[in-house]
């Protein structure tokens, strides 16, 4: 599939890159990507980054890292994200240049544990791109398909797609499509109307920050108005947000 995708590119494309999840950490695919004289597909270098399964040797190499090897990647409301370059070179046939392995470490704040009881989570990325800073490469890699695992988590656990309501296939299909439509509408709203700091907000946060805004409908002079509480400051950009949408701005 990867080969056919590259073969479908127009000849005007002169730079080639590939990114994928752990299913792409497979010898046949990686060998094809690393072979600049490949028999099929474009000739030359293909820069790639794929998720590396957390195998025992890689985990041991990560645990051997000192604390000074970790650098801040980003901070979220519930966790710290750090990255490090790990010295890991699995044995491979031939004399090919070893891949570069970059690792993410996610630690929850307040000493909380993840659902499986772990104190930290590690995610590895294998790449042949050596001239990018780790932050740039990780950000680029995590853009693949909108990080589909995170999307599945939102659909199942926050938009009710994880519990189907019926024993009928058609009803369940409609339910799943409604959940997907809701996700798309929320994504469009975040990109078009909400402040940049809410771009990564999940539905639960939007529910309490935006949709649960206390207010009162008032009918005056043949007009129906929504009066919001002035003292509420959790989301103070309603006028700006409405102005970004293809709708008449409120007066």
Residue 249 lies inside a defined structural domain of this protein = no
Model confidence pLDDT, tens digit, residues 44-82: 999 999 999 998 999 999 989 999 999 998 887 788 889
Q: Give the phi and the psi of residue 198 in degrees, each rounded to 5.
A: -100, 10
Residue 117's pLDDT band (cuts 50, 70, 90):
confident
User: What per-residue confidence (pLDDT) applies to 194?
Assistant: 84
Same domain, yes or no, for 125 and 161?
Answer: no
Write down the mean pLDDT value for the chain: 85
Domain that residue 171 falls in: 152-208
Residues 138 and 158 in one domain: no
CB 51 within 8 A of CB 125: yes
Q: Indicate the pLDDT class of residue 233, thresholds 50, 70 and 90.
A: low
Asked if residue 18 is part of any domain, the answer here is: yes
Q: What is the token pair recorded at 131?
A: 């001239």
Sign of CA dihedral 201, 205, 207, 210: negative
Asked if the model's pLDDT at residue 236 lies above 80, the reply is: no
Residue 225 lies in a domain: yes
Do 174 and 132 fall within a single domain?
Answer: no
199 Cβ contact partners less than 8 Å away, ≥ 6 residues apart: 190, 191
CA-based nearest residue to 128, from 219, 35, 2: 35
In this predicted structure, what is the pLDDT of residue 250?
55
In this structure, are 94 and 24 located in the same domain? yes
Are residues 196 and 119 located together in one domain of the fold? no
The verdict on 129 and 114 lying in the same domain is: yes
Residue 68 lies in a domain: yes
- Please indicate, yes or no, if residue 250 is contained in any of the structural domains: no
| Among candidate residues 95, 119, 146, the one where a domain is terminated | 146
Q: Clarify whether residues 112 and 77 are in a common domain.
A: yes
Long-range contacts of 23-29 (CB under 8 A, 24+ apart): 24/50, 24/51, 25/50, 25/51, 25/52, 25/53, 25/126, 29/2
Q: Are residues 78 and 167 in the same domain?
A: no
Classify residue 30: in a domain, yes or no: yes
Do residues 237 and 195 touch, judged by C-beta distance below 8 A?
Answer: yes
Which of 59-63, 212-216, 227-231 has the lowest average pLDDT? 227-231
Same domain, yes or no: 119 and 21: yes
pLDDT tens digits, one per residue of 200-212: 888 988 888 778 7
Q: Is residue 251 domain-resident?
A: no
146 pLDDT higher than 70? no
Both 9 and 128 in one domain: the answer is yes
3-state secondary structure of 163: coil
Asked if 101 contacts 125 with a C-beta cutoff of 8 angstroms, the reply is yes
C-alpha distance across the termini of the chain, in Å: 53
The residue among 139 and 146 whose pLDDT is bigger is: 139
Statement: the pTM of the whole predicted model exceeds 0.75? no
Contact 226, 215 (CB under 8 A): yes
Please check the confidence at residue 234 and state whether its pLDDT lies above 70: no
Query: 39 lies in a domain?
Result: yes
Q: Do 58 and 37 belong together in one domain?
A: yes
Long-range contacts at 175-183 (CB < 8 A, ≥ 24 apart): 179/155, 180/155, 183/151, 183/154, 183/155, 183/159
Same domain, 24 and 138: yes
More confident residue, 178 or 189: 178
Tally the C-alpha atoms within 13 A of residue 172's C-alpha that lie toward its C-beta: 8
The residues, any chain, with a CB within 8 Å of residue 219's CB and separated by 6 or more, are 225
Give residue 232's pLDDT: 45
Question: How many domains would you assign to the chain?
Answer: 3
């Amino acid at each position: 599939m990867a080969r056919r995708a590259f073969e479908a590119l127009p000849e005007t494309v002169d730079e080639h890159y590939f990114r994928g999840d752990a299913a792409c950490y497979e010898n046949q695919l990686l060998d094809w990507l690393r072979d600049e004289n490949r028999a099929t597909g474009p000739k030359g270098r293909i820069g790639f980054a794929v998720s590396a399964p957390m195998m025992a040797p890689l985990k041991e190499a990560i645990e051997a890292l000192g604390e000074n090897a970790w650098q801040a990647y980003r901070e979220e409301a519930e966790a710290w994200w750090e990255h490090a370059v790990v010295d890991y070179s699995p044995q491979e046939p031939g004399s090919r240049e070893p891949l570069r392995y970059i690792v993410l470490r996610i630690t929850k704040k307040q000493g909380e544990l993840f659902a499986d009881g772990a104190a930290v989570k590690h995610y590895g990325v294998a790449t042949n791109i050596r001239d990018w800073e780790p932050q740039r490469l990780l950000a680029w890699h995590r853009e693949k398909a909108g990080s589909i695992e995170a999307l599945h988590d939102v659909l199942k656990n926050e938009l009710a797609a994880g519990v189907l309501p019926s024993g009928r296939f058609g009803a369940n299909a409609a339910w799943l499509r409604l959940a997907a439509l809701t996700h798309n509408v929320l994504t469009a709203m975040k990109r078009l109307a909400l402040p940049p700091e809410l771009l990564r907000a999940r539905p639960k946060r939007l529910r309490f920050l935006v949709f649960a805004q206390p207010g009162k409908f008032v009918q005056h002079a043949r007009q129906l108005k929504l009066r919001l509480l002035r003292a509420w400051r959790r989301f103070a950009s309603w006028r700006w947000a409405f102005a970004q949408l293809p709708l008449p701005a409120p007066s």
